[in-house]
Structure 1
């Protein structure tokens, strides 16, 4: 009731284009296209990384609004984009079989992989909504100082929104905050690959209290993959604790 009243007084606008109505309008929501595999040197042979769009234009505006400008109301729409992508990822035999029957992945130029388009007859939440499916989401950690400014860990908030959407479609989903970043880490913006690796060295730690439940495919969620240093560090930290990471999924890829 309060939300409806606020909408009358201060109508919600799309964070990308300013159109009235939803935090992310239908037109801007189309930025989340087919899931593509992203190749980066640090992740080669460590973990597969996938992204929904490039770090530019509408996608970049939506992420900055959510991450830096207090648009927490974007979490459900971003979470839905991630949920729809998750059911397409090749995380195990069951998903591989469905992908094969749905037309499988398409190999594009430069070795990129485009999985079936979301929302089409060959993909989306509706097709893979089965109670037997399960998944565990591990949010990439944020610096404590950044989390305080953003009103809490923004990736963990996205992971929770994603898990709720998966659950409504019969896919068992859990969120395991199994990683933490020590306070001495710098903001990664502007750092090159070597600097990012050094920045994470000894500062990315496994949290036993957040250990993923056994027997579930584990996917690390993040907002942007740039050099791949964070994705690789997350996968290695989890592997060192005996947790196998099936994939890393990000909203955007940069670089």
Structure 2
């Protein structure tokens, strides 16, 4: 009731173009395309990385508004586009059609998929085909000081929004905040690839309390991929604990 009253008195405006009505209008949401694969030096041969748009224009304005200017009302919209992209990623046993909410019991596993020690095999369903694996979303962590300014971990908020959309459409998804970044890490803005890697070394750590559940396809979520240093560091931190990352998904790609 209160939200409805506020919306009547102060209607939402699109964070990108200022149109009245919603935090992200129908026109601006079209900036997000289908996931396309990008390759960066640190991730080459380590993990596949997918992104939805370039770091410019509408996408950049939406992300900056959400991340730096307090537009937390963008989380549902951004979470939805991430959920739609996740349903299209080449993950083991995942149905591709999120819009219909259907799940494909006969979906094939990704060629060359590596097994994780201690992970149980996919459960069989009728016809002898494995059932789809649940998706486990691992948010890329922020520095504690940055998270405080942003009202909490902003990528984890998007991961929770995406998981809710997937669950509503019949795709099982969980969020596992399995990584943390030490407060001594520098702001990565303006750092080159080698500087970013050095900045993360020994500062990006596994959180046992956020351990991914067994039997899931792990996807690391982040807002932007620049040099690939963060994606690679997150993947290696999980691998050191015996987890295989199926993919990395970001909203935007810079560079």
Q: TM-score range by the shorter chain?
A: 0.7 to 0.9
Q: Distance in 2 between matches of 1:136 and 1:88?
A: 15
Classify the secondary structure of the residue corresponding to 2:223.
Answer: strand
Matching residue of 2:83: 83
Q: Kindly state the Cα deviation for residue 213 of structure 1 after the two structures are TM-superposed.
A: 0.4
Unmatched runs of 5 consecutive residues or more in structure 1: 100-122
Q: Distance in 2 between matches of 1:34 and 1:241?
A: 31
Structure with the bigger percentage of helix: 1
Q: Deviations over 1:88-131 (max 9, x none)?
A: 10111x24xx66xxxxxxxxxxxxxxxxxxxxxxx543254469
Unmatched runs of 5 consecutive residues or more in structure 2: 106-130
5 Å-filtered alignment, 1:210-225, equals: 210-225=210-225
1:153 aligns with 2:127: no
Alpha carbons 2:101, 2:170 under 8 Å: kept: no
5 Å-filtered alignment, 1:1-255, equals: 1-92=1-92, 94-95=93-94, 123-126=97-100, 128-129=102-103, 133=132, 134-255=134-255
Give me the TM-score of the superposition, normalised by structure 1.
0.87
Classify the secondary structure of the residue corresponding to 1:14.
Answer: coil
Alpha carbons 2:101, 2:171 under 8 Å: kept: no
Alpha carbons 2:50, 2:247 under 8 Å: kept: yes
Q: Distance in 1 between matches of 2:102 and 2:24?
A: 25
Alpha carbons 2:51, 2:252 under 8 Å: kept: yes
Q: Distance in 1 between matches of 2:104 and 2:220?
A: 22
Aligned pair count? 229
Matching residue of 2:128: none
Q: Distance in 2 between matches of 1:211 and 1:223?
A: 21
Alpha carbons 1:224, 1:254 under 8 Å: kept: yes
Classify the secondary structure of the residue corresponding to 2:245.
Answer: coil
RMSD of aligned alpha carbons: 1.4
Q: Distance in 2 between matches of 1:27 and 1:142?
A: 30
Give me the TM-score of the superposition, normalised by structure 2.
0.87
Matching residue of 1:108: none
Q: Distance in 2 between matches of 1:178 and 1:237?
A: 9
